[in-house]
């Protein structure tokens, strides 16, 4: 009986849309304090909950804010006959006349509420205006956490044009969230150009016939595409002094081999050691041998011999056939670019670059190559109508680390260049990582939209805390307790900082899991007699001794 009476009291007290909720008692630069007084004994304010949106009407605008804190004031402390609730509201935007004299929601506050003004519950039309972004090119990716009937949209131009990041601990749903975002964009814009770096072969099943799937067994990325920094990283080994000597040798020999390949009659106007033109690796070996033959002291030949040994090692290693096969050399650069960039898209707007089968020692160079040719293609397009391209870096902490040594590797430098200059040339960047605290600050700071899933470590939480705007700090406290598929979203691609629940993927769109859960795997015995022998055979066929 008591529970029924309390429920009736709450329903009686709960205000409807646009009804008064309380009034303003204090104003600061980013928030206001409101007071709600009970109308009936025992009633509770159903609309005063953390994260709920309220509004205050001023003379020429409607100001919106999010409830961040609330607490009870006893009658003797508030001068009211009954207990009251004091709540703090973080202001985030307003509906005001636009340049076209239309009422539109926009971020920021031009006119602040004043003391005594009434605080109202928002209407459904208000929520649609705030979250739906009806006047922007947007796609739906989820629902509002506080109200599952409110769709959440992201602005495609702001998301891609100003970079984004998806951050979350292992198991928080980063891969599924990325698929939701990319599927929503590509369903709306089927002629997109997305390149997804996939270190663990997760995404082939998620995009299926929409994707151009590339791994080291299905593409040729000839060594002559590498610039001098990248080829040096592959061929020169040893301490810094040895690497310096070897790189000097390579510089002259590679440049000469490129010049010889074209001949004097059809040589391009400008060929440098970094120009992506073919040359024969066998000719480089010959030039190295010629240079070594001119030496007077046998001890001086060590750097030459080291390079020659490394080249032979790579040519004989089957894992490197996709790059260091020297049987036929021809200029297929345009075909490689067309396939990777999806120009034209031909119904496959996304390229999935699977690096799971690539040798670990060359993965950084491969990522550098991808990022660099994307950027250089846009730069050398010369003002032509080159379509925008989105590069998505999964497991980004592995190659854009804040560690000083790692940041100087080719991949970190190439991706940092896109982060800092890519938007000028129509190149967007997406960063996905489970360790945001380990990401290079100069790269992550360029991501203007953040999707923050569950983060459990204090270092990662502190990192996100510094990235959130002041009016999103109340959402920061939710990060350790977010459910899978829940995220806090802030940045230019959304109308305001908010907590959302990503849309559910269909079973055939889920990223591929590499193994069964332990409980399922251990339920039955492995019966195949040749299981280990088959693994050993694959091991020997694809790896060096």
DSSP state, residue 500: E
Name every residue whose Cβ is closer than 8 Å to that of residue 430 and which is 6 or more positions away in sequence: 160, 163, 164, 165, 166, 178, 390, 391, 392, 393
Beta strands across the sheet bearing 427-433: 151-155, 138-144, 498-502, 486-491, 449-452, 164-167, 427-433, 389-393, 194-198, 350-354, 211-214
Q: What pLDDT shows up at residue 330?
A: 85
Q: Which two tokens stand for residue 161?
A: 């044009």
* Whether residue 203 is found in the same domain as residue 272: no
* Whether residue 356 is found in the same domain as residue 471: yes
* Whether residue 267 is found in the same domain as residue 360: no
pLDDT above 60 (res 225): yes
Residues of the chain with pLDDT > 70, as a percent, come to 84
Q: Is residue 364 part of a domain?
A: yes
Q: What pLDDT shows up at residue 301?
A: 87
Looking up residue 144, the CATH number of its domain turns out to be 3.40.50.300
* Whether residue 417 is found in the same domain as residue 500: yes
What pLDDT, in 10s, does the model give residues 70-110? 887 766 555 555 667 888 888 888 887 655 556 678 888 88
Q: Is residue 532 part of a domain?
A: no
Q: Is residue 118 part of a domain?
A: yes
What pLDDT, in 10s, does the model give residues 165-211? 999 988 888 999 999 999 999 999 999 999 999 998 899 989 988 99
Are 430 and 165 in contact by the 8 Å Cβ rule? The answer is yes
Q: Is residue 175 part of a domain?
A: yes
Q: How many helices (H) and strands (E) does the chain have?
A: 20, 18
* Whether residue 316 is found in the same domain as residue 342: no
* Whether residue 202 is found in the same domain as residue 280: no
Report the distance separating Cα 312 and Cα 306, nearest Å: 10
* Whether residue 252 is found in the same domain as residue 375: no
Report the distance separating Cα 11 and Cα 419, nearest Å: 51
* Whether residue 199 is found in the same domain as residue 244: no
Q: Is residue 539 part of a domain?
A: no
* Whether residue 216 is found in the same domain as residue 298: no
* Whether residue 14 is found in the same domain as residue 92: yes
Residue range(s) defining the domain that contains residue 23? 2-122
pLDDT above 60 (res 5): no
Name every residue whose Cβ is closer than 8 Å to that of residue 179 and which is 6 or more positions away in sequence: 203, 206, 207, 505, 509, 510, 511
Q: What pLDDT shows up at residue 519?
A: 81
DSSP state, residue 509: G
For the beta carbon of residue 466, count every other beta carbon within 10 angstroms: 9
Instruction: Report CA-CA distances (Å) from 395 to 367, 419, 433.
Output: 12, 16, 5
Q: What pLDDT shows up at residue 175?
A: 92
Please tell me the total count of domains within the chain: 3
| Strand, helix or coil for residue 354 | strand
Q: Which of 326, 356, 389 is the last residue of a domain?
A: 326
Report the distance separating Cα 135 and Cα 154, nearest Å: 12
Q: DSSP assignment of 225-249, as one string?
A: GS-HHHHHHHH--SSHHHHHHHHHH
Q: Which of 271, 298, 326 is the last residue of a domain?
A: 326
What pLDDT, in 10s, does the model give residues 52-64? 888 998 888 899 9
Q: Is residue 538 part of a domain?
A: no
Kind of pairing between the strands at 151-155 and 138-144: antiparallel
* Whether residue 100 is found in the same domain as residue 246: no
Residue 217: which of 316, 317, 322, 318 has the closest Cα? 322
* Whether residue 366 is found in the same domain as residue 515: yes
Q: Is residue 506 part of a domain?
A: yes
Report the distance separating Cα 251 and Cα 178, nearest Å: 41
Q: Is residue 535 part of a domain?
A: no
């Amino acid at each position: 009986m008591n529970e029924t009476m309390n429920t009736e009291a709450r329903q009686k007290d709960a205000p409807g849309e646009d009804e008064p909720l309380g009034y303003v008692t204090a104003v600061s630069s980013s928030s206001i304090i409101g007071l709600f007084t009970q109308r009936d004994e025992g009633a509770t304010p159903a609309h005063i909950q953390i994260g709920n949106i309220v509004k205050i009407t001023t003379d020429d605008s409607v100001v919106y804010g999010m409830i961040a804190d609330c607490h009870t004031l006893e009658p003797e402390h508030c001068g009211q006959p009954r207990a009251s609730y004091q709540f703090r509201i973080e202001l985030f935007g307003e509906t005001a006349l636009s340049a076209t004299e239309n009422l539109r929601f926009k971020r920021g506050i031009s006119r602040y509420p004043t003391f005594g003004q009434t605080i109202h519950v928002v209407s459904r039309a208000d929520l649609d205006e705030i979250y739906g972004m009806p006047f922007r090119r947007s796609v739906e990716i989820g629902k509002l956490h506080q109200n599952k009937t409110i769709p959440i949209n992201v602005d495609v131009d702001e998301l891609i044009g100003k970079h984004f990041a998806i951050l979350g601990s292992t198991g928080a749903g980063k891969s599924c969230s990325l698929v939701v975002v990319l599927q929503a964009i590509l369903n709306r814009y089927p002629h997109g150009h997305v390149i997804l770096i996939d270190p663990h072969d997760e995404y082939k099943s998620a995009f299926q016939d929409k994707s151009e799937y590339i791994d080291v067994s299905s593409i040729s990325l000839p060594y002559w595409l590498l610039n001098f920094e990248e080829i040096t990283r592959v061929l020169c080994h040893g301490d810094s002094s040895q690497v310096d000597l070897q790189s000097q040798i390579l510089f002259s020999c590679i440049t000469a081999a490129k010049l010889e390949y074209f001949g004097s009659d059809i040589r391009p106007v400008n060929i440098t050691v970094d120009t992506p033109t073919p040359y024969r690796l066998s000719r480089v070996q010959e030039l190295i041998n010629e240079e070594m033959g001119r030496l007077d002291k046998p001890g001086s030949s060590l750097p030459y011999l080291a390079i020659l040994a490394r080249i032979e090692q790579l040519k004989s290693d089957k894992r490197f056939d996709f790059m260091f096969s020297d049987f036929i050399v021809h200029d297929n650069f345009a075909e490689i670019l067309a396939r990777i960039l999806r120009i034209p898209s031909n119904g496959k707007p996304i390229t999935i670059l699977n690096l799971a089968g690539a040798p670990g020692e060359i993965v950084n160079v491969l990522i550098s190559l991808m990022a660099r040719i994307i950027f250089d293609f846009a730069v050398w397009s010369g003002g032509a109508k080159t379509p925008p391209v989105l590069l998505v870096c999964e497991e980004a902490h592995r190659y854009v680390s804040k560690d000083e040594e790692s940041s100087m590797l080719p991949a970190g430098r190439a991706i940092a260049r896109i982060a800092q200059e890519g938007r000028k040339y129509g190149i967007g960047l997406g960063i996905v990582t489970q360790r945001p605290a380990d990401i290079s600050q100069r790269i992550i700071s360029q991501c203007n939209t953040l999707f923050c899933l569950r983060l459990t470590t204090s270092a990662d939480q502190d990192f996100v805390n510094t990235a959130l705007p002041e009016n999103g700090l109340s959402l920061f406290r939710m990060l350790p307790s977010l459910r899978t598929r829940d995220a806090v979203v802030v940045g230019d691609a959304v109308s305001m900082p908010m907590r959302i629940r990503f849309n559910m993927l269909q079973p055939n769109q889920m990223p591929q899991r590499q193994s069964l859960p332990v409980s399922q795997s251990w339920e039955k015995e492995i019966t195949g007699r040749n299981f280990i022998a088959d693994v050993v055979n694959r091991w020997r066929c694809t790896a060096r001794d």
